[in-house]
Structure 1
Amino acid sequence: MHRLATVFEELAAQDRKAFVTFITAGDPDTATSLEILKGLPGAGADVIELGMPFSDPMADGPAIQRASLRALHAGQDMHKTLAMVRAFRETNKTTPIVLMGYYNPIYVYPVDSFLADAVEAGVDGLIVVDAPPEADDELCIPALNAGLNFVRLTTPTTDDHRLGAVLANTSGFVYYVSITGVTGTRAPDLEAVAKNVARIKARTRLPVAVGFGVRTPEQAKSIASVADGVVVGSAIVDAIAQSLDDKGRATELTVSSVLTLVEKLSAGLKAA
């Protein structure tokens, strides 16, 4: 559980905010996705969320839905996703990786085997969108017992009573969803984000990272002024999509264009 805590502690000591990047594992293919994954820390990512492709990503907007489909069509599965993490860990022992997605691919793995393999591969935590606190015995508690952080989502509609349940077994950091709706569809309202982040931080010592809707260096900078970290996903996934050829295959520009965007976003965040 230590990589996530270490990163947030080190950044806080430097008066910096965490830049959390999201890509979908296997998008547009395993080899290209791994090259992007390996390049993210050098481009400025402090924490990496690696999406577990799923055919019905209900919380995700069109960009990440398409990324999941591209990955699945290219043959990505959970075993290949964990293999990507192992390959990443061969050269990077410090950058935290959090697997993000849905319960179904974990359930069919099944759970105990998945948790053991995730720990062995070098995964640091999980964000499982459709695993509510009422089902903590199903995945959350076993994950914590296995040594993985379990990061929860809170939203603008999470009231004070519900917030207690959400925070009860959360570890690593709290992910505040800045908008109502799915990923990448609207820009966050800074005043509302600041108010809700303050409400969450009054209830927990965990860092709070904000995502869903952050697409530009300017937005990253403004969100960083009120949160401990900023999550960017759809904008990065869009950069992948825009670099592909007319058959949806990677081009010589795919990796470089994505990492250039990450560098620009990171620069905007550091300017905060």
Structure 2
Amino acid sequence: MSGNIQLLADTLAHAREENRAALIAYLPAGFPTVDGGIAAVKAAFEGGADVVEVGLPHSDPVLDGPVIQTADDIALRGGVKIADVMRTVREAYEATGRPVLVMTYWNPVDRYGVERFTAELAEAGGAGCILPDLPVEESVLWREHAEKHGLATVFVVAPSSRDERLAKITAVGTGFVYAASLMGVTGTRASVGVQAQDLVRRTRATTGLPVCVGLGVSNAAQAAEVAGFADGVIVGSAFVQRLLDAPDAASGLVAVRELAGELAQGVRKR
């Protein structure tokens, strides 16, 4: 089975046809449990997410702030494995027919084996992978296997990326470009700001790929602000925080569904 890169492209194109940004949710696999994580991904889709990124929990998540680190720690202590990440992708995709990506640091993929990882992700119905710490220069092996299996390779660009660097990254990325709204780690912010708008403008000058903004968006007003200049709005920590704050699993799923609904309205108010 080949992966769902075309489904991802069609989903982002459909949002554009509706004159809105796509809503992309992030949730870590295995949090609060493997079954609970799968239910949370489904709840995000039910609430209105267009795409979900499933995080592969990592012991040294350099780009992630305290909220996602806490969730990753819970998942790792629960014994989450790459097989559980693949199961999360498969069950979420089979239940919804929507695009599901994996967001992972490079080390676990490298250890697992690139061919094995890409083959299993495609077989599970995954649409691709976001690899925040894989340098473009070292990505040839990954990209060969991703392309063979019909998977998107999403690279991350940052406000510090110079124009020539942006061009180098976007020339080989597929699916969409993940624009980090600010320098620093993931987490909610009071403002998503001017840096993000400038980064989207500079990135678009180098590529026809959709440019989606993450890091810091936590509510409908911020989602609407980012939707005014980006093709997609990526929200992670705010979803994870809702699950952390919930008194029980059922309330957590309600909270995820509600937040997705609020954000889905926000991206339609660009």
Q: Is the 8 A contact 1:183 1:213 kept in 2?
A: yes
Q: Scaled by the length of structure 2, what TM-score is found?
A: 0.94
Question: Could you tell me which amino acid in structure 2 is paired with residue 153 of structure 1?
Answer: V
- Judged with a 3 Å threshold, the aligned counterparts in structure 2 of structure 1 residues 45 and 185 are, in CA distance, closer, same or farther, namely closer
Residue matched to 1:58? 62
Alpha-carbon distance in structure 2 between the residues aligned to 1:221 and 1:233:
16
Question: Could you tell me which amino acid in structure 2 is paired with residue 268 of structure 1?
Answer: G
Residue matched to 1:231? 234
Q: Which runs of 4+ in 1 moved over 4 A?
A: none
Bigger mean CA offset, 187-196 vs 65-74: 187-196
Residue matched to 1:78? 82
How far apart are residue 198 of structure 1 and its match?
A: 1.1
Residue matched to 1:17? 21
Question: Could you tell me which amino acid in structure 2 is paired with residue 261 of structure 1?
Answer: L
Q: Is the 8 A contact 2:182 2:195 kept in 1?
A: no
Q: Is the 8 A contact 1:55 1:69 kept in 2?
A: yes
Of 117, 125, 130 in structure 2, the residue corresponding to residue 122 of structure 1 is 125
How far apart are residue 166 of structure 1 and its match?
A: 1.0
- Judged with a 3 Å threshold, the aligned counterparts in structure 2 of structure 1 residues 203 and 188 are, in CA distance, closer, same or farther, namely farther
Alpha-carbon distance in structure 2 between the residues aligned to 1:61 and 1:142:
30
Of 118, 138, 141 in structure 2, the residue corresponding to residue 135 of structure 1 is 138
- Judged with a 3 Å threshold, the aligned counterparts in structure 2 of structure 1 residues 24 and 147 are, in CA distance, closer, same or farther, namely same
Secondary structure in structure 2 of the residue aligned to 1:49: strand
Runs of 5+ in structure 1 lacking a partner? 245-249
Residue matched to 1:247? none
Residue matched to 1:67? 71
Residue matched to 1:217? 220
Give the aligned length: 266
How far apart are residue 84 of structure 1 and its match?
A: 1.6
Q: Is the 8 A contact 2:189 2:218 kept in 1?
A: no
Asked if 1:37 corresponds to 2:41, the answer is yes
Q: How does 1:1-272 map to 2 (within 5 A)?
A: 1-93=5-97, 95-184=98-187, 186-244=189-247, 250-272=248-270
Alpha-carbon distance in structure 1 between the residues aligned to 2:92 and 2:187:
27
Q: Is the 8 A contact 1:179 1:188 kept in 2?
A: no
Question: Could you tell me which amino acid in structure 2 is paired with residue 208 of structure 1?
Answer: V
Alpha-carbon distance in structure 2 between the residues aligned to 1:252 and 1:227:
33
Q: Is the 8 A contact 1:179 1:187 kept in 2?
A: no
How far apart are residue 251 of structure 1 and its match?
A: 3.4
Alpha-carbon distance in structure 1 between the residues aligned to 2:21 and 2:118:
29
Alpha-carbon distance in structure 2 between the residues aligned to 1:188 and 1:140:
34
Alpha-carbon distance in structure 2 between the residues aligned to 1:252 and 1:21:
19
Secondary structure in structure 2 of the residue aligned to 1:252: helix
Once the two structures are superposed, residues 199-254 of structure 1 have per-residue CA deviations (whole angstroms, 9 ceiling, x without a partner) of 1111100110001011111111011001111001011111111115xxxxx43312
Q: Scaled by the length of structure 1, what TM-score is found?
A: 0.94
How far apart are residue 187 of structure 1 and its match?
A: 4.2
Question: Could you tell me which amino acid in structure 1 is paired with residue 69 of structure 2?
Answer: Q
Question: Could you tell me which amino acid in structure 1 is paired with residue 161 of structure 2?
Answer: T
Q: Percent identity?
A: 36
- Judged with a 3 Å threshold, the aligned counterparts in structure 2 of structure 1 residues 204 and 108 are, in CA distance, closer, same or farther, namely same
Alpha-carbon distance in structure 2 between the residues aligned to 1:167 and 1:188:
26
Secondary structure in structure 1 of the residue aligned to 2:140: coil
Q: Is the 8 A contact 1:50 1:97 kept in 2?
A: yes
Question: Could you tell me which amino acid in structure 1 is paired with residue 30 of structure 2?
Answer: G
Bigger mean CA offset, 3-12 vs 252-261: 252-261
Please state which structure has a larger fraction of its residues in helix: 2
How far apart are residue 186 of structure 1 and its match?
A: 3.5
How far apart are residue 98 of structure 1 and its match?
A: 1.0
Bigger mean CA offset, 134-143 vs 220-229: 134-143
Once the two structures are superposed, residues 93-141 of structure 1 have per-residue CA deviations (whole angstroms, 9 ceiling, x without a partner) of 2x11110021122122221111111100011010111111110123233
Q: Is the 8 A contact 2:20 2:269 kept in 1?
A: no
Q: Is the 8 A contact 2:51 2:99 kept in 1?
A: yes
Secondary structure in structure 2 of the residue aligned to 1:2: helix
Q: Is the 8 A contact 1:57 1:101 kept in 2?
A: no
Secondary structure in structure 2 of the residue aligned to 1:209: strand
